[in-house]
Homo-oligomer: A and B are copies of this chain.
Amino acid sequence: MPSALPHSRQIRLASLLVLVALPLTLSGQDSIEAKFRGSIDTANIRESMRRLSARPHHVGSPYDKDNAEWMLARFREWGWDAQIESFDVLFPTPKDRLVEMVAPKRFRAALFEPPVAGDITSTQTDEQLATYNAYSKDGDVTAPLVYVNYGRVEDYEELARRGISVQGAIAIVRYGSMWRGNKAKFAAEHGAVGCLIYSDPKDDGYGDAAVFPAGPMRNKDGVQRGSVMDMLQYPGDPLTPGVGAVPGAKRLAVADAPTITKIPVLPISYGDAQPLLEAMTGPIAPENWRGGLPITYHLGKGPAQVHLKVTANWETKPLYDVIAKIQGSTYPDEWVIRGNHHDAWVNGASDPISGMAPELEEARAFGELLKTGWRPKRTIVYAAWDGEEPALLGSTEWVEQHESDLKTKAVVYINSDGNERGFLSAEGSHTLEHFVNGVAKDIPDPESGVSVWKRLQARRILNGSPESRAEARTRPDLRLGAMGSGSDYSPFIQHAGTPSLALSYGGEDEDGIYHSVYDDFYHYTHFKDTDFAYGRALAQTMGTAVIRLADADLLPFEFTNLSDTVTRYTTELQTLLRQRQDTIRDQNRAIDEKLYDVVRDPKKTAVPPEKKEVPPALNFAPLVNATAALTEAANRYHRAADAATARLASSPEIVKAVNARLMQSERELTDQGGLPGRPWYRHLLYAPGVETGYGAKTMPGAREGIEQGRYAEAEHEIARIAEALQREVRLVDAAAGELERLGK
């Protein structure tokens, strides 16, 4: 299906774009940015995607290395100081894979994605990595099935209320809603002996559109590969936690690696899942557990017995991170870093090349600027990470290896990981919220003719709660999302405390080829950003951000948005505690009054919930005080920075000193002790949730303490967060004090 955008409209938009990108009067800096944005060429993005996705290029594959070397050559050709940095990591690849139903009838799962007509790369079966979940433990089990929906904590609670346990069973889980590693982990924690993860057609199959190749969605054979490592302990090489996986690094034995699953796990298609689910009996799945297959979803356990066998080649493989630099003219030891990964599960046109190809085009455009004599004031570092798919391997090992450099030199890390048509999606450090809004206001949207900021604002005004809609109209900056995990920004923000951003476009295309062989050039150029207009928009957004950060006199960090955000988080925590108190109190009373027994249907099993401890009141005072102090300090800094704007050139030493403080502002929000139970994660404001995996938890130590009923820990964490905020207050106050000298 070719783009539905008529050619005439494309031309009109292109002209508009030039108008927006090249206003008549330009300052020097604006002119650099405009030149940069004007030189981004969609044909180059398309050609990079074609080249990089032409063959399977997973970690350890020939084409993975070939791509790295090709990119290295391009960076050098464009004038960058580039090299490949290598690490040796544990990366298991599939050996034996068997899913066979042995009762009530026999059925053997195909575990294979066949080539489809018209799509040439889908025929590269020799080089494709078979469908599997990386870092699954080896195993060979035969057991009945239990359907556990998305396999979340609340899903197991729901099962328990129906008297169903996965003890001794194979959990059959559907993909979606949560990091897949947690599906395997929670299944094991509840006693399952194996885990099958399948793609339900309701989630990314025929529900949303026709299936591939007729349409973009997952067909009955499509399988989502993916890592099932317990990355909530730590990402990266399982054998070298906290340090770079370089020669001589201390390595754990595979058997001792804590992030490998405790049970065998395998992903399957819905074509393979349907006979298994159909053979199940037991209670009927709750309404919101039911998928899109034309069957009655049962919970089990029943007669359906499955033999699951999984073994891997447990080998060490090399990673090839491509690291390219343009040395800063004024502040060479201040790094603006931007990255995207280059490895894929198979051909990976969408994931990751739709983000990698724009990055390369940015690099080429920087090369063009270099030819005109321009030099950034700060050093620009462009990274093409290897091994993101298995476990954020390339970025994590690099961050762990270069941690001391990053602590002193990193200004910002900016990540992408794929791109589609639609709306700007932005997550990151709230000290950069105002900055990102500024960038977005200067990027023309390819489809609407307004800026990408205006378009995003329009969407937020039209959707959401009345409060957030009203806010989208009146708040000068659109809110930035908090960072969870799932891509290469994670080690930067959460381990090293580097201020970070993750940017992409999306929201208009549906697809169901994630981590399958069908995520390829044919699919992308038929169903997604087919003319690469949003690939260009991403490159323009990233490049504009990098130029502004690299050339800013005073780094564009802003603390009023941080204090506003932190105030919201504080209020949320208090509300969460109150709601939890009310809910538990209510539920305990209902249990005492036997209301659950009274309402239960005797034809169905229903186990009343168990009484829980009512959360005590917690001391939020330190956090409330720290938040108030941060608001004061942020306002002071804001006034001082405003007043100093015109005088920055007069005292470069002061500016440099202020910048040095600003570069430490994110690190003040971290703590070397890390979060409770997961010391690798050091940021006290943002983390992936232990129970969600991808999804962010803000003020995670306190929030998860409350959510999971560890109230003393929560109170302790509230105090730690308050201390971090007080450190931030001192930093901001000191920076403001210095700027005030300048402003006088």
Contact = CB atoms under 8 A, between A and B. Distances in A.
* Residue with the greatest number of chain B CB neighbours at <10 A, chosen from A9, A284, A601: A601
A455 interface: yes
A247 interface: no
A206 B448 contact: no
Contacts of A466: 582
Interface stretch (A78-86, A286-294, A299-307, A718-726): A286-294
Contacts of A598: 448, 450, 454-455, 458
23 contacts: A3-B603, A4-B602, A4-B603, A5-B602, A5-B603, A201-B294, A207-B287, A208-B284, A208-B296, A209-B296, A215-B296, A294-B294, A422-B601, A448-B598, A448-B600, A450-B598, A458-B590, A458-B598, A458-B599, A462-B590, A462-B595, A462-B599, A508-B603
Interface of A: 3-5, 9, 201, 206-210, 215, 217, 284, 287, 290, 292-296, 421-423, 447-448, 450, 454-455, 458-459, 461-462, 466, 469, 508, 582, 586, 590, 593, 595-604
B294 A601 contact: no
A419 B591 CA distance: 29
A601 B462 contact: no
A458 B606 CA distance: 15
Contacts of A593: 458
A450 B462 CA distance: 49
Contacts of A295: 206
B602 A207 contact: no
B210 A586 contact: no
A531 to B, nearest CB: 11
A458 B586 CA distance: 12
A290 B207 contact: yes
A284 B209 contact: yes
A210 B459 contact: no
B206 A296 contact: yes
Given A4-B603, A296-B209, A450-B598, A590 B284 contact: no
Contacts of A422: 601
A641 to B, nearest CB: 32
A363 B454 CA distance: 71
B207 A296 contact: yes
B602 A462 contact: no
Contacts of A461: 590, 595
Contacts of A590: 458, 461-462
A477 to B, nearest CB: 18
A100 to B, nearest CB: 24
Given A207-B290, A602-B4, A462 B296 contact: no
A293 B296 contact: no
User: Which are the 9 A-B pairs with shortest beta-carbon distances?
Assistant: A458-B595, A4-B603, A458-B598, A294-B294, A448-B598, A508-B601, A459-B599, A206-B296, A458-B599
A392 B15 CA distance: 66
A294 B206 contact: yes
Contacts of A290: 207
Contacts of A450: 598
Given A4-B602, A4-B603, A293-B294, 20 more contacts: A5-B602, A206-B294, A206-B296, A207-B287, A208-B296, A209-B284, A209-B296, A292-B294, A294-B294, A421-B601, A422-B601, A450-B598, A454-B598, A455-B598, A455-B599, A458-B598, A459-B599, A461-B595, A462-B595, A462-B599
A386 to B, nearest CB: 34
Contacts of A209: 284, 296
Contacts of A3: 603
A450 B4 CA distance: 64
A182 to B, nearest CB: 25
A632 to B, nearest CB: 35
Contacts of A210: 296
A276 to B, nearest CB: 16
A599 B456 CA distance: 8
A536 to B, nearest CB: 16
Given A284-B208, A294-B292, A596 B9 contact: no
Contacts of A603: 3-5, 421, 508
Contacts of A421: 601, 603
Nearest to A446: B602
A287 to B, nearest CB: 8
A517 B466 CA distance: 48
A9 B215 CA distance: 55
Contacts of A469: 586
A5 B601 CA distance: 10
B448 A599 contact: yes
A206 B290 CA distance: 11
